[in-house]
Amino acid sequence: MLLIPALAGVCFLALPLIAIPIKTPWAVLVDELGSPRARTALVLSLETATAATIVSTVLGVPLAWLLARTNFPGRRMLRVFVALPLVLPPVAGGLSLLLAYGRRGVVGHVLWQLTGLGLPFTTPGVVVAETFVAMPFLVISVEGALRSISPRYEAIAATLGAGRWFTFRSVTLPMVAPGIFAGALLCWARALGEFGATITFAGSFPGTTQTMPLEIYLAFQDDPSAAVALSFVLLVVSAGVLSALRKRWWI
């Protein structure tokens, strides 16, 4: 009885993904991907997604450790704040970034007055937007890895005289390295495909803030074949990320 709805669900999810390579203009694929706008958008996407992943790792791994290994008042509320970007509409996320880090934002106006630096509509603003929506993937992945490891190993290291930093660096970190790798890949893929928060907070300026998803959106209005070709690239990248995580996702 469950076979028919299960097959319907598979078809519902798979058909749109299969439609992209079917409709990809293979004859002009290389030309479309070789256009200056496409190359610029692709390079910018790779650079900003990588930068966002680095920032997410530096900030997210300690945050995951805090959630998994310590007890303090408000920990559940902190976990809610960590997970909110996963379910918050991307446009609302971009607006929240503007209200926080814009030139008239809660923090942004102080940064603007003190340094004259503004994040919105700049390449660093793209990194901020991508980090905001992608870091929860890394935090949740690393927190899950930490919770799967018994604290006894850290306790044994402490009884042998190891300090907290040495224990974290030499015992905990190597054991959760696969979780960090998986979370970083998911974070990078999410950052690469970010659209709503980026266009709201950073805009769409060629060579500065116009990433691949934004280029796809603009190309679809003028040249649908170019949009399909660029979408095929992102589909291949996303499939590659899942293939790299096959041991954690597939049985």
CATH of the domain at 65: 1.10.3720.10
Res 246: pLDDT = 67
Beta strands in 43-153, from DSSP E residues, in sequence order: none
In a domain, 135, yes or no: yes
Q: Residue 126 falls within a domain, yes or no?
A: yes
Q: What is the pLDDT of residues 64-116, one digit of tens each?
A: 989 988 888 888 899 999 999 999 998 999 999 999 998 888 998 888 888 88
The band of 248, judged by pLDDT with boundaries at 50, 70 and 90, is low
Q: Can you give the pLDDT at residue 251?
A: 41
The whole domain housing 56 covers 33-89+121-249
Q: Is 22 within the bounds of a domain?
A: no
What does the pLDDT look like over 185-234, one tens digit per residue? 999 999 999 999 999 999 989 889 999 999 999 888 888 888 898 899 88
Decide if 168 is inside a domain: yes
pLDDT at 12 over 90: yes
- Work out the mean pLDDT of the chain and round it to a whole number: 88
Contacts of 250 (CB under 8 A, 6+ apart): none
What does the DSSP assignment read for 73-99? Answer: TTHHHHHHHHHHHHHS-HHHHHHHHHH
Residue 109 resides in a domain: no
Q: How far is CA 3 from CA 6, 11, 18, 123, in A?
A: 5, 12, 21, 48
Residue 203 is assigned to a structural domain of this protein:
yes
